Amino acid sequence: MCGIVGYVGGRPDLARALETLRHRGPDDQGLWEGTLGGRPAGLAHARLSILDLSPAGRQPMETEDGSLRIVFNGEIYNFRELRAELAGLGHPFRTQTDTEVILAGYRQWGVGVLPRLRGMFAFALQDGPAGRLLLARDRMGIKPLYFQESPEALCFASEPKGLLAMLPRRPDVDLHSLRDYLTYLYVPWPRSIFQGVSQLPPGHSLVLEAGRARIDRWWRLPTPGRARPRAELVAELRALLTETVRLHLISDVPLGAFLSGGLDSTTLVALAARASARPVKTFCMTFEPGAGLYDEREYARVVAERYGTDHTEIPVRPDLAELLPKAVRHFDEPFGNPTSLLVYLLSQKTREHVTVALAGDGGDETFLGYPRYQGAALSESWRRVPRPLRAFLAERVVPWIPESTRGRHSLRRAREFLSGSLAPADAMYAGWVTYFSEEEQRSLLAGDVIAATSGRQAFWHLDRQLDPAGGRGLVDRCQAIDLGTFLPGNLLAYSDRMSMAHALEVRVPFCDHRVVELLASVPASQKMPRLQTKSLLREAVADLLPPAVRRRRKLGFNPPVGIWLNGPLRPMLEDLLDERRLRAQGWFSPGAVRSLVEEHRQGRRDRTLHLWALLALQVWTNAYRAKA
């Protein structure tokens, strides 16, 4: 795991840009500058040594004849198999790295090497004889890659800070992206919060050749086929998960796993323990008394004892919010999911013991673990209820349904289900997975912002995931949306930034493309029979689960921010959302913001994520303007 940065055209300060990414690769830094296709070009790399710790693994890495050169961030888990195949085709190897395998694979297959790679990656490869630059990002978007193209140059980096360091001036805020942030609590690809700065989408490549850039999609999620014999499918899944976890354990440095005691993390720890000759090091977050709804230490201890892990508990307190400015510096963009702070602290403490950690990210999207998938399935029957009755419930009953600000979400989900039942199915689901609605944004935002973003399509980011979704039922469409948007834009984004802030490599076996493709090819009726979430995963690993884990209900990995906002975080809320501060900023109506605060404080609505998103935005704005 590393940081990459580079350019073609112009002469930016590459050394300065590399320095901004040192946290991603503290073990070594390398820099090359020369020409590509007759234009100035440069590549730089901040290395976190995981495989082949010798100097031979240093990057930028080039072929022996100097014709190909690469900087690479990530891990290729099938590199040994590819290396053997390429060696049989006559390609020599000087290192034990997966980086060199990508170079040889490109020489053999060109861009066709991408579908052969199994892993997480973002890389930039220079083909000197062709005068070509290839940028590529893995299928699921586990590793990030930002770029900016202008008539003078194309610059790229793992994080916006590396890119911004190469630009002649700080870009303006993209107001369309600001509204997208309020919708999703993150800025979705291909945009960023900065005008003119883009994210390369997951499963895409960019080829710059003869002064022109072309972006191509090289991977798509498969569509579901027919149901298969269940015993056969369960056996295939168990074998695939066993193989996937084994591959994810390949490392020349200490390795561990995050453990919450839930189904996903227990599965990974159990399979890792079976494949490892040494006790697995596990790490669990705990919360102070009074936040018992969120605390999972009891279940994690059961799993740790069963599999003999070297277990560490990490306590969390309300002063976790003091980490917000640090987290913002690593995102470089506003990011509204407070779970990111937990991952920041978890990664910080975990890094004191290991360099690599397995995490269960992607389990809910891949195996249908979210309650909203049950809601989508139920809605297909609910829509047969006469519309006047649905309208009565949505318009007359919903306003009287209370909500909890203490982490109990059943009433909120009932509100969302009933109020969304009048909308088309896809719009209903969009309402479930977004936050500030269009109506709320029109009330919240200043008139100038609304005017500057007129004509904006509210759910463009979700809709684009449905282009190839012909033939999918509603639940399968919802899964495709989540795998293409929420997972890379939210969960994998904070997993990367918060872990790399501490030079910790996080690996996510449930995002292995072979696992994702297997489950995507199975119809929802087989993945979620009788509304049972994660049924295939539960059956595949039933013998590995302690009884306490099998019986427990799903609990998300979230801090008790809703409770804290009405308690120890109240001064922070009052300060950052102060009326004078908001008026000076010019984006929001202070009265609308105050209404959100009062609704949450009085327990009328759970506004936890809305308020946290505004807090995170204010912290980002202060940091951004201070550097402008």
Catalytic annotation, residues: 2
DSSP code at position 173? B
Helices (H) and strands (E) in the chain, counts: 30, 17
What are the contacts of 398-405 at 24+ separation with CB within 8 A?
402/603, 402/604, 403/603, 403/604, 403/605, 403/606, 404/562, 404/603, 404/606, 405/562, 405/563, 405/565, 405/566, 405/600, 405/603, 405/606, 405/607, 405/608
Cβ atoms of 76 and 119 within 8 Å: the answer is: yes
Calpha distance 356→529 (Å, rounded): 36
Calpha distance 591→595 (Å, rounded): 6
For the residues of 331-349, what is the DSSP string, one character each? HSS----THHHHHHHHHHH
Calpha distance 315→286 (Å, rounded): 5
Q: Among 366, 360, 365, 368, which Cα is nearest to 530's?
A: 368
Strands 281-287 and 255-258: parallel
Cβ atoms of 360 and 261 within 8 Å: the answer is: no
Cβ atoms of 434 and 459 within 8 Å: the answer is: yes
In which residue are the tokens 């308690």 written? Answer: 567
Cβ atoms of 202 and 484 within 8 Å: the answer is: yes
Q: Among 204, 212, 319, which Cα is nearest to 568's?
A: 319
Point out which residues pair with 73 in neighbouring strands. 122
Cβ atoms of 480 and 470 within 8 Å: the answer is: no
Calpha distance 540→555 (Å, rounded): 21
Q: Among 149, 118, 150, 151, which Cα is nearest to 135's?
A: 149
**Please, what's the b/e burial string for 102-113 (b: 16 or more CB within 10 A of its CB; e: otherwise)?**
bbbbbbbeeeeb
